[in-house]
Structure 1
Amino acid sequence: MAERTDILIGIDAGTSVVKAVAFDLDGRQLAEASVLNRYDTGADGAATQSLSQTWADCAAALRKLGESVEGLAVRTAGVAVTGQGDGTWLVGADDVPAGDAWIWLDARAAPAVRRLNAAPSERARFEATGTGLNTCQQGVQLAHMDATCPELLDRAEVALHCKDWLYLKLTGVRATDPSESSFTFGDFRTRAYDDTVIDALGLEHRRHLLPQIVDGSQVTHPLSDAAAAETGLTAGTPVSLGYVDMVMTALGAGVHTGDPGAACSTVGSTGVHMRAVGQDDVLLNDAGTGYVIALPVPGLVTQVQTNMAATLNIDWLLRVGGDLLAEFGVETSHSDLVRRIDGWMAQSRPGALLYHPYISDAGERGPFVEADARADFIGLSSAHRYPDLVRAVVEGLGMAARDCYAAMGEMPGEVRLTGGAARSRALRGVISAATGARVRVSSREEAGAAGAAMMAAVAIGAYDSMEDCIAAWVTPLLGEAEAPEPQLIDTYDSLYPAFRTAREALVPVWGELARHRGSGATTDPETHAGEESTGRTLEATDASRRSAT
């Protein structure tokens, strides 16, 4: 039997799918196993996930991986885990869940966002964390829980994030990493908790809920006997706590390769736009939005702006088309419609319509925070057809990416694209022209799991530094640069001011619509404290659906 020296496992626990991926020490992907995850939603804006089920799904994915890799347990040199960011995963006595997790999609904390944003201490909190407040974040969610359902916090002993919970189940250690701890409760310069931030959130009396901070590129803990029994791996295997999934995906896709002017956009269900900068070069915008998230490289952070919804907008429009076809007895699959996107783009005129891609029920968080924000088409006429709507939605994603990069300074010279949408040449062309940057696509299949595995690779000494690991795992997989089309650049340069003006002017309209709906973001959940979610369970029926576009 081979010695346990030649495989690293990266775990990436997403909102809908938990993946376990095996890599060799040179970064080649050997095998992947996934298990569908699920979450519940409620009419009050709740979005919750079972801690116990998420761990069961993770363990199942690891067992499934073991079925496809001979001798996986004894060959594994290290395991690393990352997962969906933000959210609140409360754990009580004996490491038993204190309730279901409030995930990043949960919108119930909107009143807390408004209250905290209006406080005199908000700017000092923002300047420490580099991160604007939104309903996704654990700090805001804890503040809201403390005001509306303190009994949840009273029975908890520690507040974790998704990956932290899985790390606890893998190792028995309660911990979080420098990325989520500093952008939520700390200072990105020190990568430690900060009293100014905790006080600004009104959580000084809940500080005992914050776990120790562990850097998984330097420290590992052994896989526990209990976890070994559930996963099929070997007890004692080193386990690394990865950084938040946004950073792990960007690391695996090329956000930091030493090339000046490079940035990284992940265009999947959400849109994540980031650039790697020195911690002394961070631009903190006047609006107080975005994230500053540490990289597992000393002195280096990512500036981040995130769209709440990216390809979810395309999914919605394709679903509308599919539903209409079904009314006439024509059955189509999501993948069938996805394959038509580039053709529809070719049948339509660039810049003919405006679309704001705020389709999420939780509104928008980047580059502005507005829980009431909603999607819209502007400029429709009787001459427009379905292909025009498809192009407008895709161009809306390009405009949103430009909006996000503009909030972080100058446009990047090159954008490394990852996520399912990167497979669409038409969408790549739109993002390239909207930002004026050339684009490159990494051939890395599972960038998030790879980024996590890179943490373990450095932690166990397979590489002397993260830069050495990047040179082997990331740079060789970057494709050829694709230059933007000059005529499209001119079109989108002309279109962007209208996109920006319209979304700023629509803020009061969104508020009126929210009041008309009589629920959702503007309903103060403090009047519903203690209500249980009556939402339906959302279950992914196609593992590739959310990333296919």
Structure 2
Amino acid sequence: MARAVDAIMHKGDILIGIDSGTSVVKAVAFDLSGTQIAVASVTNAYDTGAGGAATQCMSRTWKDCVTALKQLGNLVEGLSGRTVAIGVTGQGDGTWLVGRDNVPVGDAWLWLDARAAPTVSLLEGNALNRARFEATGTGLNTCQQGAQLAHMDRFDPASLDRAEVALHCKDWLYLNLTGVRATDPSEASFTFGNFRTRQYNDVAIEALGLRQRRHLLPEIVEGTETTHGLSDAAAQATGLRAGTPVSLGYVDMVMTALGAGVYTGEADAACSTIGSTGVHMHARPAEEVHLNAEGTGYVIALPVPGIVTQVQTNMAATLNLDWVLNIAADVMRGMGQDVSHRDLVSHIEGWLAAGKPGAILYHPYISEAGERGPFVNANARAGFTGLSAANGYADLVRAVAEGLGMAARDCYAAMGALPSELRLTGGAARSPALRQILAAAVNAPVRVSARDEAGAAGAAMMAAVATGVYPDMRSCISEWVTPLLGQAEAPDPGLVRTYETIFPVFAGLRRDLAGTWDLLAKLRTESRDETEPASSVTTGA
């Protein structure tokens, strides 16, 4: 294959992928064939506040990225001179406002931020909302920049007046790396555009009530075709070579799925990332997208011409397991026994084996932001159904894990036919018992990629194509992705039958609970209003 470094303007043998998540920023070095060489990670942080606020300091996120790159330089000898190109991706959705001299307007609103919920409800009643959905392929929810900008425009227009551009996390890092204000086709089209053209769409922008704010939308850059050089300032900060090509990756969920095998040529294969959130996606030609009647989910472009991912995302996945483990930790601490999260995780396989399949139903809507896939309800909350005195802690853990499987099936059912094969990534993919639960829930064999850092790999793959290391993404996938897919693990037929029986009950019950969730949300609001002093109430967003 014509991957010789002589074909590249600057000779080198390393590609760097940056993946800036909600809580960790990673910089990963790969050789030109996709072998991971080293990884450096820096813990990030975000703040939560009243009304569902979830924000992150933009300057800290850039500093954390710089630190990760400098640490990578300490791990890889001669990194600066050996780096062919850099690809950058990051957490999706959210709003990162930048003003004069590229200074942040304030802290970024994250995808976790739920403050825009009342504006989402208002926008859903807009006569143009279905036309917006048909263009973007994406249902409205509080995570999205479109909804957040619309909410800011109603309640904090001064912040938008001070802003010159509205970016996402990876776009903010790209700006700091290159000095260029830009976004990529994936986030541009699923929020403000048309997934078929990968460009901004007037109807989508009008439906969000943001026509007067259109100037905040940055240029769309295709990172497999266009790069910008690492700026002198960024080079000085990171220790890398000025002018090194930087590729703006697609949103992290797509980069992770790309690196983990969402698109390798087989028909009907799908990919689920079971991490803090649950991301479930099919890769298919744009003309074969199935848009559901409820107007939920995402359609997100892949960096492959004509191919998109249809996506449904659970607001919380392993966060549910963290919660049930924390319950045990709290009880043990109350008895004077301090245990770590890692200690409890080591017992999950045993608890899952001891719990009875299908004994209890659990709806995994543990996030205070509610749920966004395959339905949108900011008031949705988690709950067990079917508990009796005969159930023990292992049954609760088993139910929570099965709730993740039922939620995954719920998401795939909303996108059409269930997948013929499921590729798994994320922390939960390491659990054999959880893999079997997910396989049986969607009635498909599962495969796990040996790729450790799939998100960073996806970004590096884009940089590899952009700089001519590979002629196109398909050839890069054949070497970076396909060989790393493990053997298929078939679902247990008995477990499949159990889940086929309980899934209709799971789906019907979550529909029936909507009114209860809304009533509980009203009661919570009334209780909060009665206890909060008047001076603490603000009119800000």
| TM-score scaled by length of structure 2 | 0.96
1:90 aligns with 2:97: yes
Query: For 1:391, which of 398, 401, 413 is the aligned residue?
Result: 398
3-state secondary structure, aligned to 2:380: coil
1:252 aligns with 2:262: no
3-state secondary structure, aligned to 1:315: helix
3-state secondary structure, aligned to 1:360: coil
Q: State whether residues 183 and 292 of structure 1, in contact with CA within 8 Å, keep that contact through their aligned partners in structure 2.
A: yes
Deviation string for 1:283-302 (max 9, x for gaps)?
00000000000000000000
Q: Which residue of 2 aligns with 1:206?
A: 213
Alignment of 1:362-401 (within 5 A): 362-401=369-408
Q: Which residue of 1 aligns with 2:159?
A: 152
1:315 aligns with 2:322: yes
Deviation of 1:511 (Å): 0.7
Q: State whether residues 394 and 430 of structure 1, in contact with CA within 8 Å, keep that contact through their aligned partners in structure 2.
A: yes
Query: For 2:149, which of 142, 154, 162 is the aligned residue?
Result: 142
CA RMSD of aligned residues (A): 1.4
- Residues in 2 aligned to 1:521 and 1:396: alpha-carbon distance in whole angstroms: 30
Deviation string for 1:49-103 (max 9, x for gaps)?
1110000000000001000000000000000100000000000011010111001
Q: Which residue of 2 aligns with 1:511?
A: 518
Query: For 1:118, which of 118, 125, 129 is the aligned residue?
Result: 125
Deviation string for 1:5-40 (max 9, x for gaps)?
100000000000000000000000000000010011
Rate the CA distance shift 1:190–1:520 in 2: closer, same or farther, 3 A: farther
Deviation of 1:530 (Å): 2.5
Query: For 2:16, which of 9, 12, 23 is the aligned residue?
Result: 9
- Residues in 1 aligned to 2:163 and 2:126: alpha-carbon distance in whole angstroms: 27
Higher relative contact order, structure no. (Cα contacts within 8 Å, ≥ 6 residues apart) = 1
3-state secondary structure, aligned to 1:202: coil
Q: State whether residues 26 and 473 of structure 1, in contact with CA within 8 Å, keep that contact through their aligned partners in structure 2.
A: yes
Q: Which residue of 1 aligns with 2:445?
A: 438
Deviation of 1:164 (Å): 0.1
Q: Which residue of 1 aligns with 2:308?
A: 301
**Code of the aligned partner of 1:368:** F
Q: Which residue of 2 aligns with 1:77?
A: 84
Q: State whether residues 514 and 522 of structure 1, in contact with CA within 8 Å, keep that contact through their aligned partners in structure 2.
A: no
Deviation of 1:331 (Å): 2.0
Deviation of 1:261 (Å): 1.5
- Residues in 1 aligned to 2:209 and 2:524: alpha-carbon distance in whole angstroms: 31
Deviation of 1:529 (Å): 2.4
Alignment of 1:162-201 (within 5 A): 162-201=169-208
1:484 aligns with 2:494: no
Deviation string for 1:421-468 (max 9, x for gaps)?
000000000000000000000000000000000000000000001000
Rate the CA distance shift 1:151–1:37 in 2: closer, same or farther, 3 A: same
- Residues in 2 aligned to 1:174 and 1:529: alpha-carbon distance in whole angstroms: 31
Deviation of 1:109 (Å): 0.3
Percent of residue pairs identical: 68
Rate the CA distance shift 1:333–1:26 in 2: closer, same or farther, 3 A: same
Q: State whether residues 80 and 455 of structure 1, in contact with CA within 8 Å, keep that contact through their aligned partners in structure 2.
A: yes
Q: Which residue of 2 aligns with 1:331?
A: 338
**Code of the aligned partner of 2:62:** W
- Residues in 1 aligned to 2:529 and 2:401: alpha-carbon distance in whole angstroms: 29
Deviation of 1:519 (Å): 7.0
- Residues in 1 aligned to 2:128 and 2:512: alpha-carbon distance in whole angstroms: 28
Q: Which residue of 1 aligns with 2:464?
A: 457
Q: State whether residues 123 and 288 of structure 1, in contact with CA within 8 Å, keep that contact through their aligned partners in structure 2.
A: yes
Deviation of 1:212 (Å): 0.2
1:215 aligns with 2:222: yes
3-state secondary structure, aligned to 2:29: strand
- Residues in 2 aligned to 1:219 and 1:503: alpha-carbon distance in whole angstroms: 45
1:342 aligns with 2:310: no
Q: Which residue of 1 aligns with 2:3?
A: none
Query: For 1:268, which of 270, 275, 283 is the aligned residue?
Result: 275
Q: Which residue of 1 aligns with 2:533?
A: none
- Residues in 2 aligned to 1:40 and 1:334: alpha-carbon distance in whole angstroms: 21
Deviation of 1:401 (Å): 0.1
Rate the CA distance shift 1:191–1:465 in 2: closer, same or farther, 3 A: same
- Residues in 2 aligned to 1:409 and 1:8: alpha-carbon distance in whole angstroms: 37
- Residues in 1 aligned to 2:232 and 2:529: alpha-carbon distance in whole angstroms: 47
- Residues in 1 aligned to 2:528 and 2:187: alpha-carbon distance in whole angstroms: 25
Alignment of 1:224-243 (within 5 A): 224-243=231-250
Deviation of 1:333 (Å): 1.3
Unaligned runs of 5+ in 1: 532-549
3-state secondary structure, aligned to 1:78: strand
Deviation of 1:521 (Å): 12
Unaligned runs of 5+ in 2: 1-5, 531-536
**Code of the aligned partner of 1:94:** D
Rate the CA distance shift 1:365–1:358 in 2: closer, same or farther, 3 A: same
1:529 aligns with 2:536: no
- Residues in 1 aligned to 2:23 and 2:325: alpha-carbon distance in whole angstroms: 20
Deviation string for 1:321-370 (max 9, x for gaps)?
01111111222211111111111111121000000000000000000000
- Residues in 2 aligned to 1:184 and 1:112: alpha-carbon distance in whole angstroms: 15
Q: State whether residues 45 and 520 of structure 1, in contact with CA within 8 Å, keep that contact through their aligned partners in structure 2.
A: no
Deviation of 1:405 (Å): 0.1
- Residues in 2 aligned to 1:58 and 1:458: alpha-carbon distance in whole angstroms: 23
3-state secondary structure, aligned to 1:38: coil
- Residues in 2 aligned to 1:513 and 1:200: alpha-carbon distance in whole angstroms: 30
Q: State whether residues 371 and 521 of structure 1, in contact with CA within 8 Å, keep that contact through their aligned partners in structure 2.
A: no
Deviation of 1:516 (Å): 1.3
- Residues in 2 aligned to 1:307 and 1:378: alpha-carbon distance in whole angstroms: 20
Deviation of 1:522 (Å): 12
1:129 aligns with 2:136: yes
Which deviates further from its counterpart, 157-166 or 112-121?
Answer: 112-121
